Amino acid sequence: MASIMVLSLNPALDLSIGLERLSPGEVNRTRETHLEAAGKGVNVARVLVALGHEVTVSGFLGADNDGAFRRAFETLGIEDAFLRVPGETRTNVKLAEDDGRVTDINGPGVVIDADAWRRLIDRLTQRCEAFSPRPRAVVIAGSLPPGVTPAMLAELVALGRAAGLPVWVDTSGPALDAAITAGATAVKPNEHELAVWMGRTSLDASARHGAAQRLRDAGAEEAVVSAGAEGVLWLGRRGAWEAMPPRVEAVNTVGAGDTLVAALLHGVLDDVSPDVALRLATALSAEAVRHVGVGRPDADDFSELQRQTRVYRLEEGDDAGGALA
């Protein structure tokens, strides 16, 4: 399997809380709580390791509360190349109600100064150009912490591309624009992030296809759009593909998109056919929404989830449907 570098610039401690119903302004009793080292990049790393890859994670962690991350990386066998900076890593709270509504309360992250940024650039330059084993791909996932601008994210993308590595990016807003301009190999907005990128409030299935093509026209070699139960769209060098996930009971959607990115990159690096790669990634993403956390490829019914996933090859100009693969 491949050696992969994952960058999580703004990781978080995820506090997931399950309760029957949230009553603002009142005392609420929780049914369950779960605290986990997370953030989009860390979630991507978890899935890649579960799929058999050697993963190094880097970015910034607050030195005052990094214990949960150290324990998680040791348990999972992930190489910890995070830079420690003064302060505490943010805590994100996910309030999940029985009716499926999820309320996110996300912290801004620890402030990154110029010295910390330069140290990260120096470390990544060494990893990408001279380190052995050299990574086969770089993934940059998540939001930007205070002090890190979209232009600085573009610097990371350019660094990886200059080293001859594919760089996959999962972010949104101005950071997504910057990543595309800098030459990101692949980008993965969800349908809401893609609508914002297009200057729209929402996109139907037909408009999503056109918007994904716009991502490619802007410079992304691979455009992956996740739309929950409405499926996944993948436009790139392997053609235009669409997948419809199996029907599952959604409990928590946090981590589904991260699972999709990791599993699709896994398929690309393994050089499997695009329909096989997209089927696995879509099914694993669907598996993730059934519980807190990322998708579990060792789930007892994962083979059945893959069998129930429908993958279509889209012809040039198709907005929906296509040939079943």
CA–CA dist 226, 114 (Å, integer): 34
Q: Does residue 173 contact residue 149 with C-beta atoms inside 8 Å? A: no
Q: Does residue 65 contact residue 78 with C-beta atoms inside 8 Å? A: no
Coil/strand/helix, residue 196: helix
258 catalytic? Reply is yes
Q: How far is CA 239 from CA 86, 186, 224, 273, in A?
A: 46, 14, 12, 11
Alpha helices in 237-273 (DSSP H): 256-269
Determine the angle formed by the axes of helices 114-129 and 150-162, rounding to 10 degrees.
Answer: 20
Cβ atoms within 10 Å of 162's Cβ, excluding its own: 12
Among 99, 258, 298, 319, the one annotated catalytic: 258
Residue 133 pairs with which residues in a beta bridge? none
Q: Does residue 91 contact residue 69 with C-beta atoms inside 8 Å? A: no
**Residue whose tokens read 């590595």:** 165
**Residue whose tokens read 């330069």:** 118
The amino acid at residue 253 is T
Q: How many degrees, rounded to 5, is the angle at CA 120 between CA 116 and CA 123?
A: 135
- The residues annotated as belonging to the active site are 258
